[in-house]
Amino acid sequence: DYDAIGMTTHLAARMEQLARPGTTRMTLSTLRLAEGFVQIEPLGPVPVKGLDEPVEVFELIGASDARTRLQAVGKGGFSHFVGRQTEMEALERALARAGGGQGQVVSVVGEPGVGKSRLYHEFTRGHHVKDWLVLESGSVSHGRAAAYMPIVDLLRGYFGISTGDDARAIRERITGKLLTLDESLRAIETPLLSLFEVPISDPIWESSEPARRRQRVLDACRALLLREAEEQPLVIVFEDLHWIDSETQAFLDLLIGGIAGARVLLLTNYRPEYADPWSSRTYYTRIRIDPLQPQSAGELLDDLLGSDSTLDPLRALLVERTQGNPFFLEESVKALIDEGALQGGRGDYRLAVPVTSIDVPASVQTVLAARIDRLDPEEKILLQTAAVIGKDFSLPLLGAVLAREADEVPARLARLQEAELVYETRIFPDPEYTFKHALTHDVAYGSLLSTRPKGLHTVILESMEELYAGRESEHLDRLAYHAIKGEQWYKAKRYAHAAGAKAAALNATRSALESFENAISAIGQLPETPELMAENIDLRFQVRDALFVLAEPEPIKEHLREAEALAARLDDRHRLAETLVYQAGFEWMEGKYRPAIAIAERARKLGAESDDTVIIGMAEYRLASAYAMLGEYGAAAEQAAAGMSHLAEQATSLFRFGGLTYTFVGAFRALACSELGDFETAEAVGQEAYRIAKDADHAYSITVSCFGLAHAYLLRERFREALPVLNDGMELVSVHGLTATLPWVAGRFAWALAMTGDTKKAREVVETAHYSFDQLPAAMDHGLNYISAGCAYLALGDLDGADEIARLALAKAERDEEAGVRAWVTWIRGETALKREQSEIAVQHYATALNQAGPLGMATLQAYANLGHGDALAMSGDVAGARASHELARDLAAKHDLMPILTRATERLAD
C-alpha cells in the first residue's frame, strides 16, 4: 500500500521537524507499537500539513519499567477480555464514590488463573481513570521475609526510581517530588529514604527505637498518598496479598483506616486462603471472581482460535476440561499449537488432527509441564535456571549463572517470550524478565530433577555475590534464600542473620523472626564450635524478643530451654544467667511468680560468682517484680533498691532487654513503696525512672516507668499530676502499638480522668482497659492492673462495672497468689456495698481487707479501708466503732502523708 507508506514517511518527517533538539516525538500509531516499553508525555492534537484532522503527538521521555506482570504481558498483546461486565461495573461504582471523596476499598478473590490481575489491568487502563493517578504493586512468594517489599515497589513507580539509581539519585527524586507536592512533607523524607537504604544523617531517627522508626515509616507512606490524593485522585493496587509481608499488611491496615474521606480507590486481590481483616468497613467491597461461564469461555476461544464451526467440538472439549479458567484455556490452546494439532494463525486456526485424538490434561500444571518438555533442550535449561533464580530475574544474573555467550541467552529468551512463557519487564539499565504466571514459574521449577536445584542455587548465590559486591544489603533476603536452598550453611547463617537485623531495625518483627529462625536452622547444619554456639544463643534471644512483641509466648519456652542448654555446655555463665533472667520473665508473664523467683535467684547467684553487676541487677528486677505481684511489697522494695544500685552506672543502657532495665526497676520500686506508704521514696524513684526514659526517648521504657510514678500520684489522690504522665504513656502505646503496656497504663489513666472531671474520655479509656483484660494474651494479664480500672468505675459511679472488674481481678488473684490484689479487690467490694447503702456487707468487706492488708504492710490500703470501715459503721449506727476506725485512718494518713484521707478522716471525727 504505497499511499500508507507515503503517509507514514510524511508523518515521520513531520515528527522530526516538530521535535526540539535532543527530543523525540511520535504519533499514536508508533506509541501503540512501543506501548509498555517507553515513558511518554502527551502533547495533544497537532495540525499536520496535508491532513484534514490534527494528529495526537507524544514526546518520548525514556524507557519504561513494567510495574506488574500484566504490564509485561500486555507488551505482547492480550487475548480478548470477556465475561467480567458485572465485576467491571462494581469497580466503576467504587471509583465514582471514591472520586466524590468517599474512599473505597475493593478486594477481588479467586483461584489462580481466573483473571484477578487481568481484571485490574483492564480497569486501570480504561477511559474512566484517565484523570486518576494509578499506582501499582504486588507481592511475590519469597517476599514474606522481605519487609516492605510491595511498598517499596509502589514507591519506585511513584517517585520514578529505577533499579540502577544510586543513593544520590534516589534522594534527589524523593526530595524533589516531596517538596514539589508540599513543603511540609519534608518531615517524612527521612523515613521514606530509609526504605531505599539511603544513608541518613538524622540524629532523631538514629536514636529512635525500632518501634518508633516503624511507625514513622508507616505514617510517612500513608501521609504521602493521602496528600497526593488532594491533588489528584488515586487508584492504588496491591496484588497477591496471599504472599504479603507483615509490615505491608500493617501499612494496608493503617491506610484503610484513613481513606474514608479521601479520593482514593484501593484495589487488592488474593487467593481464597488469605483472610482479609476489613470486612466490617462500610466502604469495603469483596468481589468473588469465578471461572468464565461457557458463553464467555466460548468468546475467548473464538478470539484465540477463530469462529470456524469445525472447531466447535474442540471448543466444547476445552471448556469442559478447563471449567472456564482463562489461563488454563490459553495454555491449552498454546499446547495444541505446539503439538501441531492446530495450524494457522491467531483467530484463524484449523484442526490438523481429529478432535477425538486430542487429550486435554486435567490441570493447567500438566499442560504447562508438557509445553516445557517440548522446548528445545537449551531453552528448557534456560527456563528452569530462571525459575530457580525466582519469578523475576535479570539478564546479567541469568547470563552469569549459565556462563554462556553474551548473545546466546537473549536469543533464547526471545524464543521463550514468543512462546509466552516469560515476558520482558525492563529494558534499562539491564533487561529484566518475569514468568507469565506464578503457575508457570512453579511448574518450571518443579520440572528440574531433584538433584539439580541445590547446585543451581549455589551457582546463583555465587553469581549474585559477584554481581552485587558492595551492595549485598539490598539483596539479603534473596541471598539468604539461595544460600539455604543451596545448603551453603555458613553463608545462609550470615545472610539470614543480617536480614533479620535489617528487618528488626525497622521493627519489621515478623520478617525479622523468620530470618532469625532461618539463621538458627543454618547453624544447626554446621559443626558445633564455641563461636557458633554463642551466636545460636544470641539469635534465640532475638527470637524471644520478636515472639514477645508478637504476643506469641508459647514458642519462647523452647527457645529459652535451648539457649540454657547451649550456655551450660559452653560454660558461658553470663549467657546462662541472661537466659535464666529471660526465663524468670517468662514465668512472671504467665503469673508463675514463685518459679520466677527461684529462677531469678539462680541468675543472681551466677552473676555474683562472676561479679557481673548487670546480671545481678537484672535478676533483682525480676525478683522485685515477682514479689510485687505476690503482694510482698517489703521484699519487692528491697530487691528493687538493690537492682537500681547494681544498674546505676548503666542506667541508660538497653542491654538485650527490650528497654532500659533501670527504669523498669524504678517503676516497680515506686509501686511497692506506694503500697507501703513510703511516698517520699516512691515519688523520687518514680520521677527519676520516668525522666531517664524520657531523656532516652525510648517509648517502651516511658510507658513502663509512667505507671510506677502515676501509681504513687494516684494513691495520694494527686490526679492532676498523674494525668500528663499517663497521657504520655497512652499516646506512646497508641503510636507504637505497645499492647504489652496498655493494661498498665489505661486503667490508671481512666481513674485520673474520672477524678478530674473528664468522664466521657474516662469511660472510653476504662472500656479499652476492660476489653484488654479479655483480649490480650496471658503474658499481659496481671491482677494489679484490674484494680485501677475498678477505681475508675467507682469514680464514674458505675458500680456494676466495678463489680465485674472485682470478679475478674479476684479470679486472677486466686489463681496466681496475688495477695495484694486480693486485698484491693475486697476494698472495692466494700466501696460498692457502701455506695449501695449495704452497710453490713460493706463492714464485712472492709474488715476483711484490713486483715488481708496488715500482714503485707499495705499501709496505704489500710488507711483507705479504715476510712471506709468507719463510714460503713456510722451508716449502721455503730458510732463508737466508726470513731475508732476513723482515728486509725487519720493516724495512718498523717504518718504516710496521705492528705486527702487525713482531711476526710478529720472531718468525720469533727462531726
Q: What is the pLDDT of residue 595?
A: 96
Distance CA 892, CA 889 (A): 5
Torsion of Cα atoms, 361 then 363 then 366 then 369, to 10°:
130
Tell me the residue type at 874. Answer: A
Strands (E), 404-538: 422-426, 432-435
Distance CA 590, CA 607 (A): 24
Tell me the residue type at 103. Answer: G
User: Which residue do the cell numbers 497477591 mark?
Assistant: 240
Mean pLDDT by 10 residues, the chain (911 residues): 47 60 71 58 70 72 54 60 94 96 96 92 89 87 70 92 85 93 91 89 74 83 94 95 89 92 95 90 94 92 88 91 91 90 89 88 89 92 94 92 81 90 83 89 87 88 93 91 96 96 81 93 96 95 80 80 94 92 88 95 94 94 96 97 94 77 96 97 97 89 93 96 95 77 90 95 90 64 86 95 93 92 97 96 97 96 97 95 96 95 94 81
Give the residue from 824, 813, 625 showing the smallest Cα distance to 708.
625
Q: What is the pLDDT of residue 4?
A: 44
Other CB atoms within a 10 A radius of the CB of residue 455 amount to 12
Helix boundaries (H) for 524-592: 530-549, 554-570, 573-589
Asked if 681 contacts 640 with a C-beta cutoff of 8 angstroms, the reply is: no
Q: Which helix (H) or strand (E) holds 201?
A: none
Q: What is the pLDDT of residue 81?
A: 92
CA angle 846, 851, 853 (to 5 degrees): 90
**Dihedral sign for Cα atoms in the order 794, 797, 798, 799:** positive
Helix boundaries (H) for 648-798: 661-676, 679-696, 699-715, 719-736, 742-755, 759-775, 783-796
Q: What is the pLDDT of residue 15?
A: 59
Residues 6+ apart with CB under 8 A from 127: none
Torsion of Cα atoms, 49 then 50 then 54 then 55, to 10°:
-90
From the centroid of its chain, how far is CA 269?
18
Q: How far is CA 870 from CA 40, 176, 829, 878, 905, in A?
A: 86, 72, 15, 9, 9
Asked if 747 contacts 711 with a C-beta cutoff of 8 angstroms, the reply is: no
Pairing of strands 25-27, 342-345: unpaired
Q: Quick one: cell of 559? A: 527457645
Residue 186 gets which letter from DSSP? G
Distance CA 295, CA 275 (A): 31
Residues 6+ apart with CB under 8 A from 807: none
**Dihedral sign for Cα atoms in the order 308, 314, 316, 320:** negative
Q: What is the pLDDT of residue 470?
A: 87
